[in-house]
Homo-oligomer: A and B are copies of this chain.
Amino acid sequence: MNNSFGELFRITLFGESHGSCAGVVVDGCPAGLLLSERDIQSEVDKRKPVPQAGQTPRREEDQVQILAGVFKGRTTGAPICLLVWNKDTDSSAYEKIKNTPRPGHADYTAFVKYGGLNDYRGGGRFSGRVTVGLVMAGAVAKNVLNLKAIEVLAHTVQLGSIKAGESTYWQIRSRTYKNSLRCADAKVVKLMLEELIKAEREGNSLGGVVEGIALNLPVGLGEPFFDTLEGQLAKALFAIPAVKGVEFGAGFRAAEMKGSENNDPLKIEDGRIVMGSNNAGGVLGGISDGMPLILRAAVKPTPSIAQNQQSVNLETMKETRMTIKGRHDVCLAPRAVVIVESMMAVTLCDLALRAGLIERIVK
């Protein structure tokens, strides 16, 4: 297990889906940052399911508590411990299937890796529930980045077969959290919802793609050779359950482009160097180039579906069939939006500290 991420801004995650709580320790945050439970709560609330088609009926209060590291409304330089208590847990459905790994879930791999000793209730440590800790850490990181006017955005750009059109940063900023699909393109939200409802009726689930953006990054973030901006962000995003691909800028499309198309020409605008296009997605040589950072994460369809599926019984080592009860999102992409933002913020915060761009004391 390695439940810590980052070098100078380091987060350590703990908690399980059906245990007593989910939390995170945030270490390395500059002293003097204004930080209230309300700040963090508003981020955690973005992760909550919206009471609507295609979202888990599980209802968590998710009342954020700051256990350590904040004094008189400001961070102190000491580690910040953030926690939400689990309340609405119903483990009954899991007891029946504990020996039958759910296809597409970590049940089987966790069973082998931990010798069957892992907490299997609700996916235990592998549950999306644990990501609330990422969002709490992300809330802190966003506050730090805000000191340098760095902004992190994310939105759903594909849900099932429906792809969103281009949106401006202003649209992404203002519209994403206005709808339950976290989609900035108002025109496709209805189509996405229809596809979602259809999948739900079929007892099925959908995949999607989340785009993440960081604005106002200075040139110079990212540490070659191994802690590249892309490599660190990709590692961070693959920590989000269900993410199966990460690309930057033109990404996989670059494979079919020619050098003359893909190279971003350098220009002078208002006395500053900018790129004439952004196929690099804001990263050259693993280092931020001053353009908006653009990435996309592929989210696989929710593995928990209502249809009858083929599995095995780990005790009898015989094949069996199973139907998952429980409560689940039809598509994980919308709920992953704020988590993508959070992991981006955490990663950028660490790299900014390592590059010496952030002071240790906020005045």
- Using a CB–CB distance below 8 Å, which chain A residues touch chain B? 1-5, 7-8, 10, 12-16, 19-23, 25, 27-28, 31-32, 67-69, 71, 74-81, 83, 101, 103-106, 108-110, 112-115, 117-119, 121, 124-126, 130, 158, 160-161, 199, 204-209, 219-220, 222-228, 230-232, 234-239, 241, 243-252, 254-268, 271, 273, 276, 279-281, 284-289, 298-305, 307, 309-312, 314, 317-319, 333, 353-356, 358-361, 363
CB-based contact B14/A268 at 8 Å: no
Which of B75, B76, B113, B235 is the one whose CB lies under 8 Å from A287? Answer: B113
Q: Bound complex: CA of A247 vs CA of B252, how far in Å? A: 9
- Of A1, A273, A300, the most chain B CB neighbours within 10 A belong to A1
CB-based contact A226/B284 at 8 Å: no
CB-based contact A125/B224 at 8 Å: yes
Q: Bound complex: CA of A132 vs CA of B266, how far in Å? A: 30
State the oligomeric state as a number of copies: 4
Q: Bound complex: CA of A144 vs CA of B330, how far in Å? A: 42
CB-based contact B263/A309 at 8 Å: yes
Q: Bound complex: CA of A199 vs CA of B220, how far in Å? A: 33
Q: Is the interface of A mostly helix, strand, loop or mixed?
A: mixed
Q: Which B residue sits closest to A249, measured CB to CB?
A: B244
Known: A1-B223, A4-B226, A220-B112. A68 touches B264 (CB 8 A): no
- For the complex formed, measure the closest distance between the CB of A10 and the CB atoms of chain B, giving whole angstroms: 7
Which of B76, B205, B225, B251 is the one whose CB lies under 8 Å from A117? Answer: B76
- For the complex formed, measure the closest distance between the CB of A150 and the CB atoms of chain B, giving whole angstroms: 16
CB-based contact A14/B234 at 8 Å: no
CB-based contact A21/B68 at 8 Å: yes
- A103-B263, A161-B256 known; 16 other A-B pairs, CB under 8 Å? A5-B225, A16-B68, A16-B69, A19-B71, A76-B118, A104-B262, A108-B219, A108-B266, A209-B255, A227-B235, A250-B300, A257-B300, A259-B307, A260-B305, A262-B300, A268-B319
